[in-house]
Amino acid sequence: MVQTSIPAASNPMSLLLIIMIATILLSGIIAVVSIYISSLYYREESAKMNFLLKFIGQKWQRGFGHDLANRLVDDGFIVFAGVLNFDGKGACELRNRNLRNLNVVQLNLTKADEIDKAVAIVSEQCAAKGRIVNVSSVRGRFPWPGYSTYHVSKAGMETMSDSLRLEMMKFGIKVAVVEPGWFPLATAAISIETCERVKKDCEEQWKEASEEIKRLYGRKYFFAWYDEMLANRNDTRAASSSEPVIDAMVDALRNVHPKYRYLVDGGQGYNIDFRAVGLKISSQHFSVDMHNH
Ligand SMILES: *[C@@H]1O[C@H](CO)[C@@H](O)[C@H](O)[C@H]1NC(C)=O
Ligand SMILES: *[C@@H]1O[C@H](CO)[C@@H](O)[C@H](O)[C@H]1NC(C)=O
Ligand SMILES: CC(=O)N[C@H]1CO[C@H](CO)[C@@H](O)[C@@H]1O
């Protein structure tokens, strides 16, 4: 699905400059990694492209951002990977690669001084207009019971990106959204650790719930989506590799005409639109199931 080549002949410029900022989680709790990529030495030197990308919202220990950093670095980009925890497992893995074109930068996005420092580091090496790629989810389009806050945040990100796309047109800055489908095995979305944490949250909420709530919903209903999460650990239809998502991200970065949205199928043998429709239908089934408990 992804065309990544830049037709060198159609690009008269002699300098290729790509900056990218990506955010992923590399350690413990909610870690965020920002990756800035600049490439003065990129293979297609006859092309000039100025991109600024920032991936926000990856919440897992391993996942898309980490894989993307590795892919782009191997493709010859200069990558600035901002990590929430510089000594975290994911950050150490990147650092241990000891590559000249891979810079790991401490970056907690809630700390203004760390953002300023990261920007300074990148600005030293690159000057670019930029390009923006925000990572959302298929769930930014289709709701699912039990995850309303997640859907609100993803739908908000999509709407915000759509506005930003229109606002940035004036400056020639392109904005794309990547919407991964079902990739639980390629991230830590339903890792044992995540499941444990969710279970603990459920137990706490159940403990604090009033007698009325307990009577009304029942324990089985309360834990239904946690059970669903556990069952998903065995879902053989789920994509086990992040590759299609990384392909989409790379296309969003490199394509002269990136798509507005990249809806990436995570199931085997499913066309994504079909699956997205299926998601909508099965979410209704799921609601019914929960209703019956
Ligand atoms: C990130 O910064 C916030 C304060 O701005 C802090 O509460 C949080 O613990 C930091 N996260 C990590 C993993 O250090
Ligand atoms: C998942 O599969 C494992 C064995 O492969 C089994 O022990 C476990 O009970 C299954 N979990 C669920 C929730 O079906
Ligand atoms: C909703 C959201 O996270 N949007 C972000 C998309 O990327 C731009 C550029 O990095 C950010 O400014 C937005 O906050």
Residue 226 lies in a domain: no
Residue 164 lies in a domain: yes
Q: Is 112 in the pocket of ligand 1 (CB under 6 A)?
A: no
Rounded distance between C-alpha atoms, residue 259 and residue 256, angstroms = 10
Inter-residue contact 190 to 233 (CB < 8 Å):
yes
User: Phi/psi at 83 (nearest 5 deg)?
Assistant: -115, 145
Instruction: Give the residue whose CA is nearest to atom 12 of ligand 3.
Output: 54
Residue 201 lies in a domain: no
Residue 286 lies in a domain: yes
pLDDT digit string (tens) for 106-163? 989 899 999 999 989 988 888 777 889 999 988 888 777 777 898 999 999 999 999 9
pLDDT digit string (tens) for 197-220? 989 999 999 999 999 999 999 998
* pLDDT, mean of residues 258-263: 90
pLDDT above 70 as % of the chain: 70
Residue 19 lies in a domain: yes
Q: How many domains does the chain have?
A: 1
pLDDT digit string (tens) for 43-69? 332 222 323 333 333 333 467 888 999
User: Phi/psi at 126 (nearest 5 deg)?
Assistant: -140, 150
Residue 288 lies in a domain: yes
Helix (H) / strand (E) element for 228: namely: helix 224-232
54 CA: nearest ligand 3 atom? 10
Q: Is 91 in the pocket of ligand 1 (CB under 6 A)?
A: no
State the CATH number of the domain containing residue 21.
Answer: 3.40.50.720
Q: Is 137 in the pocket of ligand 3 (CB under 6 A)?
A: no
Q: Is 27 in the pocket of ligand 1 (CB under 6 A)?
A: no
Residue 262 lies in a domain: yes
pLDDT digit string (tens) for 70-119? 999 999 988 888 888 899 888 899 999 999 899 999 989 899 999 999 98
Residue 37, pLDDT > 50, answer no
Question: What is the pTM assigned to this prediction?
Answer: 0.70
Q: So what's the pLDDT on residue 276?
A: 55
**What are the residue numbers of the active site?**
150
Q: What is the residue range of 158's domain?
A: 8-190+233-292
Residue 52 lies in a domain: yes
Instruction: Give the residue whose CA is nearest to atom 11 of ligand 3.
Output: 54
Rounded distance between C-alpha atoms, residue 78 and residue 100, angstroms = 8
